[in-house]
């Protein structure tokens, strides 16, 4: 099978598309780029080659496989990503005067969110998804879920539904003392799901680094620009944040989270189905005021 030739997306997304088709020396270059992403690639070609312990032509072969015409185009994309990383909703605030009269709000939204979901799934690594599902479906392993200030909504969704399907699922807030107690209890077999989206909350980054040091299985769900935690993750899943101005969209994150939930339910099978039925029966009884 010939290697795919990506022609869109961030450099990180392009690397993930082609990485299973790269030679070992090319993989070494990709690793150097991702270890300090996105600035890791913004160095002279000889410096990048030296850091990866390969030749300059190897670097150029990788750049070509990523869909760039040359090292200059590669650098141009990385610089644009750095600018996007420091994006502010104020700078992207919608201007009603610039909206085409013939374009309806619904049409703009449809185009934006279709593109968001398409981009999310086109850059989804099947092996990473399978690894995440396998870890989350192992009921012998406790699960801890946490998000940042905005992505906390995704963490809440995942933890809520996982707890209906399996035991030992803990959702913790991104601030407060429970973050510390959760770290104390982390073991190497603990599965941690961390949501970290631009602008990458420092407290979330610090917590994730400590979880990695404690050898927990770290499933990182991040955006197309990659959280600084990406190089420390055991499993890495990304979603697009393309949407309507002025804020980043969580639509891609929601569809990816719902995919995770569905695949975990499929992997757990009949025991989870039985647990879900019991959960819903108790929930209904509780809502009717007659627990048990």
238 Cβ contact partners less than 8 Å away, ≥ 6 residues apart = 12, 13, 16, 120, 123, 124, 221, 222, 223, 224, 226
Cα gap 193→203, rounded to integer Å: 15
With 70 as the cut, is the pLDDT of residue 290 above it? Answer: no
112 Cβ contact partners less than 8 Å away, ≥ 6 residues apart = 242, 243, 244, 249
pLDDT at 54: 95
With 70 as the cut, is the pLDDT of residue 247 above it? Answer: yes
CB 212 within 8 A of CB 232: yes
The predicted-structure confidence for 230-239, as pLDDT tens digits, reads as follows 888 999 999 9
Cα gap 53→202, rounded to integer Å: 32
Question: What φ, ψ does residue 125 adopt, rounded to 5°?
Answer: -85, 115
Q: What is the mean pLDDT of the chain?
A: 90
- Measured between alpha carbons, how far apart are the two ends of the chain, in Å? 58
pLDDT at 4: 65
pLDDT at 30: 92
The predicted-structure confidence for 104-158, as pLDDT tens digits, reads as follows 889 989 999 999 999 999 889 899 999 999 999 999 999 999 999 899 999 999 9
Cα gap 215→217, rounded to integer Å: 6
Local confidence band at 291 (pLDDT 50, 70, 90 cut-offs): low
pTM for the model stands at: 0.83
User: For the stretch 131-142, what's the b/e string if a residue is b when 16 or more beta carbons lie within 10 angstroms of its beta carbon?
Assistant: bbbebbbbbebb
In this prediction, residues 157-166 reach a mean pLDDT of 98
45 Cβ contact partners less than 8 Å away, ≥ 6 residues apart = 56, 59, 60, 71
Of 117, 138, 121, give the one whose Cα is nearest residue 190: 138
């Amino acid at each position: 099978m010939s290697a795919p030739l990506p022609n869109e997306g961030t450099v990180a997304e392009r690397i993930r598309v082609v990485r299973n088709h790269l030679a070992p020396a090319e993989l070494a270059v990709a690793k150097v780029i991702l270890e300090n992403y996105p600035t890791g690639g913004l160095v002279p070609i000889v410096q990048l080659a030296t850091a990866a312990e390969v030749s300059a032509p190897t670097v150029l072969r990788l750049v070509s496989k990523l869909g760039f015409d040359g090292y200059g185009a590669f650098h141009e994309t990385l610089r644009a990503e750095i600018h996007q990383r420091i994006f502010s909703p104020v700078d992207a605030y919608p201007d009603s005067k610039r909206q085409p009269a013939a374009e309806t709000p619904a049409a703009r939204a449809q185009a934006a969110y279709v593109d968001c979901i398409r981009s999310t799934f086109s850059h989804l690594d099947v092996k990473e998804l399978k690894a995440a599902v396998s870890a989350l479906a192992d009921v012998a392993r406790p699960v801890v879920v946490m998000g940042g200030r905005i992505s906390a909504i995704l963490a809440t969704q995942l933890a809520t539904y996982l707890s209906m399907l399996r035991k030992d699922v803990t959702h913790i807030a991104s601030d407060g003392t429970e973050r510390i107690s959760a770290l104390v209890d982390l073991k190497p077999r603990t599965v941690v799901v961390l949501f970290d989206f631009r602008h990458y909350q420092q407290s979330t980054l610090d917590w994730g680094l400590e979880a990695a040091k404690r050898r927990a299985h770290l499933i990182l769900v991040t955006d197309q620009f990659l959280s600084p935690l990406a190089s420390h993750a055991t499993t890495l899943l990304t979603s697009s944040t393309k949407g309507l101005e002025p804020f980043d969209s969580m639509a891609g994150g929601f569809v990816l989270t719902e995919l995770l939930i569905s695949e975990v339910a499929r992997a757990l099978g009949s025991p989870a189905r039985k647990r879900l039925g019991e959960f819903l029966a108790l929930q209904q009884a509780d809502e009717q005021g007659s627990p048990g």
